[in-house]
A and B are shown apart, each in its own frame.
Chain A
Amino acid sequence: MKFQGFLALSLLGLSQIVMASSTDSYELTISNHQFEPTELIIPANTKVKLLVHNKDNSPEEFESHSLHREKIIGPNQSGVINIGPLPAGVYEFVGEFHEDTARGRIIVQ
């Protein structure tokens, strides 16, 4: 029983590694407190990774209320944000520390 549990867990772990390697990545850059690009198109019902590069000398908090995501990216650091699988739609995000300029959206289709 224990061995089977262990086997199942290892398989689960293995499948996650395989899945991780097949996950598509999208890049997002923050500079002058603005996102670039401001619009990303990702496929529906698919897990993707968002790599956010903060090129500013100050920290930023990537925040998306609709995506249930919030993450601080240090100055001149990069961060990974897991996204999806999501139903089709438009999901807005902001840089919480500079909300008036740092805005963008992810279009899932």
Chain B
Amino acid sequence: MLGTAIIIFREVLEAALIVSLVLAATRGIIGRTQWVMIGIGGGILGAILLAVVADSIAPLADGMGQELLNATILFFAVIMLTWHLLWMRKHAAEITHKVKHIGQAVSSGDKDPIILAFIIGLAILREGSEAVIFLYGLAAAGSNPSELLLGGGLGILSGIVAGSVLYLGVARIPVGKLFQVSGWLILLLTAGLASQAVSYLVQADLLPAFGYAIWDSSFLVSEQSIAGHVLHILVGYVDHPMGIQLLTYVLTIGLLGAAMYVMNQQQAKARG
């Protein structure tokens, strides 16, 4: 049972952490709850659907269907997060002001809540489908149903607890600083997801690796450890990165970070 719970926990953790971070970063936006629910529901449905068709997708593209699908989902998440980040920059001052001084949520009147649903949905879709495939396999192999329910339930629950801890941590950041701090956190998350997407393209043999281990810091923090795994999800930590992963990571932070910085400056100028 514990083994099942650990595997499910690992799959659920990524989705739980991404969802919590995005949720904590978007406190005070009206109509958010509804879109968050749509994202979670859609993600779970999508995960089940994806698990069902997984065996038909895998042989596509010369047997690289799974890799290309994973890369596509991750790239799509990167685009959505980028949109979200830039949108938040544009409205940061307004949102911060309203939440802080009027103590009310702001109506975004924009597409951001929909983007939020997409980000949440995609995060659940990818990792959730692996969890569903694993649980379905256990059921097919004739495992004890109680083992399935208990192990699966315990794994999902621990993932949600970990997500809640992160949420509460980020939520402690004062509103005035929230968008600044969470913005940079989401930037690191986005860069990590981009480098993960690129790693699937290397696996599909569409991109060169440029070296399989630029360095090896597994003696310091192993990616297999819980701390390493959490760092991998949140900031894209890889204990022995491929050259192309490093390149993608640095480029994403450089380009997106520069765009965020420029927008900050414009905001500051507009305020006088």
Contacts and interface: CB of A to CB of B under 8 A. Distances in A.
A59 B212 contact: no
B212 A86 contact: yes
Contacts of B202: 68
B205 A82 contact: yes
A87 interface: yes
Contacts of A109: none
B31 interface: no
B148 interface: no
Contacts of B64: 80
A77 B137 contact: no
Contacts of B212: 66-68, 86-87
Kindly list the 3 A-B residue pairs having the minimum CB-CB distance in the complex, ordered from nearest.
A58-B137, A80-B63, A74-B55
Interface in B166-205: 199, 202-205
B5 to A, nearest CB: 13
- Chain B contact residues, majority secondary structure: helix
Interface of B: 3, 7, 54-55, 58, 62-64, 66-67, 130, 133-134, 136-138, 140-141, 199, 202-205, 209, 212-213, 223-224, 240, 242
Interface of A: 47, 56-61, 65-75, 77, 79-82, 86-87, 96-97, 100
A73 to B, nearest CB: 8
Nearest to A82: B205
A50 to B, nearest CB: 11
Contacts of B62: 80
Contacts of A47: 205
Contacts of A75: 137, 140
A65 B224 contact: yes
9 contacts: A47-B205, A58-B140, A59-B137, A72-B133, A74-B58, A79-B58, A79-B66, A80-B63, A100-B3
Nearest to B245: A68
Given A68-B209, A77-B58, A80-B63, 9 more contacts: A56-B141, A58-B137, A65-B223, A66-B240, A67-B212, A68-B202, A72-B66, A72-B133, A74-B58
Contacts of B240: 66
B203 A71 contact: yes
Interface core residue of A58, A67, A87, A96 (most chain B CB under 10 Å): A58
Nearest to A47: B205
Contacts of B203: 68-71, 81-82
Contacts of B7: 96-97
